[in-house]
A and B are shown apart, each in its own frame.
Chain A
Amino acid sequence: MCPYALLVKLNIPPSVRHFSMQPAVVVEKLAKNYKDFLALDNISFAVPQGEIFGLLGPNGAGKSTTVRILATLLAPTSGSAFVAGYNVQNNPFAVRRSIGYVPQEQMCDNYLTGRENLWLQGNLYHMDYTAIQQRIRELSALLELEDALDKITKQYSGGMKKKLDIASGLIHRPQVLFLDEPSLGLDVSTRLKVWEYIRRLYQEGITILLCTNYMDEAEKLAVRIAIIDHGKVAVIDTLERLLAQVGGDVVTLELENSVGPSRNGFEDELKKLAFVTKVLARENSLNIFLQYDETVLPQIMRAAGNFYVPIRKLTFSRPRLDDVFLKYTGHRLQEEGT
């Protein structure tokens, strides 16, 4: 058992686990030119073991290029990268042994059945017969592929193919998994399932580098996020801190015109509540900045009731990663997409 899995088994919390280990992925001033086009411009980041690290960026940002370099498929123009402690250029073989790579494009062999695809992959990682069979059983149960296992993958739907790709990236229990756009082209329910599997893998202690251009995917899965745009890293931080930078949660109350002097009392009462950070009064509305939890809304309503303040409309909004994206790149993620 690798030391990291031991820490997971002992229930050591992630924050402690991470500090005790060398990072699973280190990227230092990595640059990549395609002829005279600069696809990666000196990017640097590190992924601690056991973390889901999100690379978030629009089409053409350089996410796949980064992952291809880390998977030893592409040589960087300059800079260096380490995976599981091995230099991708000097020791590609050791890197390949440590990683699972699920590329952006669907990549099962269309002429083979699901089982044969997984069998082939297992053999390429030198697993023995029983280990492969065992792993095929586990993974097909996890990804709900059992019924399709003996069908030729040409007949699979896009979602099934993607799941098979993920399974074949996992067959040899890699230390580090590269997932390039794992939910591209999936319908909503399949996508939710894939997210659930990814979270389960995270709980097993595997390090995941997740490339995505879906805001919600990064929000739902990643512990830390690097926003990249035009081959540059715009910012790297934990999800919470990125969101905190663009302000907290906001409850907006629209009030009836008839509110009298009791309104001032109501505002003072709101300011006394522990979770409220700021109250911004407008003519007929109140913006309440606060730290949200489930008790917040009833408490506000109760205060309004005590002061006989009639409320016409209540809206609640949380800051989105999209706002962070806007702040650091000057444009929204969706606008950039082609």
Chain B
Amino acid sequence: MNHSLQEIGALTRRWFIHLSREPVHVMFALIQPLLWFALFANIFSRVARGSQFGNVSYPTFMTASALALTVVGNSLMGGIPLLMDKELGFLNKLLAAPISRNSILMSRFLFVNAVNWMQMTIILLVALLMKVHLETGAAGIVLLYLLGALLGIGVTFISLALAFLLHSHAEFFAIVGFINLPLVFVSSALIPVSLMPIWLAWLAKINPLTYAIDGMRAMIIPGWQAQPIWLIFFALVLFDAICFLISARIFRRNLG
């Protein structure tokens, strides 16, 4: 147990050192969520004005989307450093050491989640500046971070599994780019599911992102209940479980 903690601690610290040595990454990590937020809130607010958003302002509506999309975008990249380690051979050095293979994966989860939460915090602060009110209070904010973690865990599983399945980071970026866009558009990120055509609504309902966003929106906008909260948590936990089961086999095959 102590050994695992020591391994995970050291490996996680390595990722934080990487982050701090790459100022461009830090900048990007800070700016990217703001970009989402500013772009969507501005472009779509014109479209949305006068339609059926009730008395909810579009920036308020978009806060949950910005939070969830940031978590997805960042978590999808979560496998990249391991893919680099694999390409450079550094992974072999880790694998020749007497450490649990799970510690390597665990360090990625901890790091990715920490960055996700940091980015969520930035978005929430900016949202406050834009006069978005977080009316559900402290409990709502805690649940907001919990939803972010549940969404991030599943997506990170996918990303780590891809890192072991694929051979180069060029391949990785191609596939991730392919996943990312439809995931966003077939979700409640831009418009509520209730306003979608039937076929799109069906697709959106099997998209875990929809549940995360609906859940987050419910925490930000009092009375906004696209889905019951229990269903949202159930769907996200189910998503994490499925991602775990699929990727566990891939990890076992590649990490021995």
Contact = CB atoms under 8 A, between A and B. Distances in A.
Contacts of A125: 97-98
A124 B21 contact: no
Interface size range of chain B in the complex: 20 to 34
Interface stretch (A2-10, A96-104, A279-287, A309-317): A96-104
A124 B14 contact: no
Contacts of B98: 93, 96-97, 124-126
Contacts of B93: 101, 103, 107, 168
B35 interface: no
B14 to A, nearest CB: 6
A152 interface: yes
A120 B14 contact: yes
A120 B13 CA distance: 9
Contacts of A93: 98
Contacts of B88: 105, 107
Contacts of B99: 124
A95 to B, nearest CB: 9
A73 B92 contact: yes
A124 B94 contact: yes
Contact of B95 (A73, A75, A168): A73
Contacts of A124: 7, 10-11, 94, 97-99
Contacts of A152: 21
Interface in A266-290: none
B43 interface: no
Given A123-B10, A124-B7, A109 B96 contact: no
Contacts of B3: 126
Interface string B1-41: 00100110111011001100110000000000000000000
A116 B3 CA distance: 19
Can you list the 5 inter-chain pairs with the closest CB atoms, starting with the nearest?
A: A123-B10, A124-B97, A96-B98, A97-B98, A101-B96
27 contacts: A72-B96, A73-B92, A73-B95, A75-B256, A92-B256, A93-B98, A96-B96, A96-B98, A97-B98, A99-B96, A101-B96, A103-B93, A107-B88, A107-B89, A109-B90, A111-B17, A111-B21, A112-B14, A112-B17, A116-B17, A120-B10, A120-B13, A123-B7, A124-B11, A125-B97, A126-B98, A168-B93
Given A103-B92, A112-B17, 7 more contacts: A103-B89, A107-B88, A107-B93, A120-B13, A123-B10, A125-B97, A168-B93
